[in-house]
Chains A and B, each alone.
Chain A
Amino acid sequence: RKEVEQDPGPFNVPEGATVAFNCTYSNSASQSFFWYRQDCRKEPKLLMSVYSSGNEDGRFTAQLNRASQYISLLIRDSKLSDSATYLCVVQKAGTALIFGKGTTLSVSS
């Protein structure tokens, strides 16, 4: 079983749609959780950290359920510029980032 599993996608949505990505992780010792965004042929960039209480950054909302070992990302009012691959990432304290395979989002007009 992979350490981090994500919805395979791709997700094709119209502008203005709400889209949700799901992710599960296998290592209960994981302490830090992130969503990274990666544009085609570019490096991953941190989108947001994910906290147990849930957190929001503009149109983006991240949720963490430690009991279920489940992470989610909700994007509201999708924009064309949201088209990218979204990577779910977990980490034990101070150690390597463990990435999921990524879910590709394509937003069309």
Chain B
Amino acid sequence: DAGVTQSPTHLIKTRGQQVTLRCSPKSGHDTVSWYQQALGQGPQFIFQYYEEEERQRGNFPDRFSGHQFPNYSSELNVNALLLGDSALYLCASSLVRDTSYEQYFGPGTRLTVT
């Protein structure tokens, strides 16, 4: 049973650049959520995708955008990178019909902005 996978594992970018992170959900899951975890903080919700649409969004600027594909995989795009965007980006998948609402996390992508 394949778990949540993310790519790449590490990434170094320069201020002002753009980045795309990718996530494949756990087999059978249809919902993908993205979180940002800065050093020493808990994960913060960015947005959630279901049926290829953004269903919920946290308090993040429009520089953060995403997409979900028909196979349920998802991308997170960040434009005009700032130093403060350096963080661990976590993808979590779940099944909308699962009333336990349990979310399974991928290993994350560690983004460093210099």
Q: Which residues of A contact B (CB under 8 A)?
A: 4, 32, 41-46, 49, 87, 91, 93-102
Contact = CB atoms under 8 A, between A and B. Distances in A.
Contact of A42 (B44, B92, B102, B107): B107
A32 B101 contact: yes
Given A4-B42, A45-B105, 13 more contacts: A32-B101, A43-B90, A44-B90, A44-B105, A87-B43, A91-B101, A94-B101, A96-B45, A96-B58, A97-B35, A97-B92, A98-B45, A101-B42
Nearest to B94: A94
Report the interface size class on chain B.
20 to 34
Contacts of B100: 32, 49
Contacts, number: 49
Interface string B30-46: 00010100001111110
Nearest to A49: B100
B33 A96 contact: yes
B108 interface: yes
Interface string B50-69: 00000010100000000000
A87 B90 CA distance: 15
Contacts of B48: 95-96
Contacts of B43: 44, 87, 97, 99
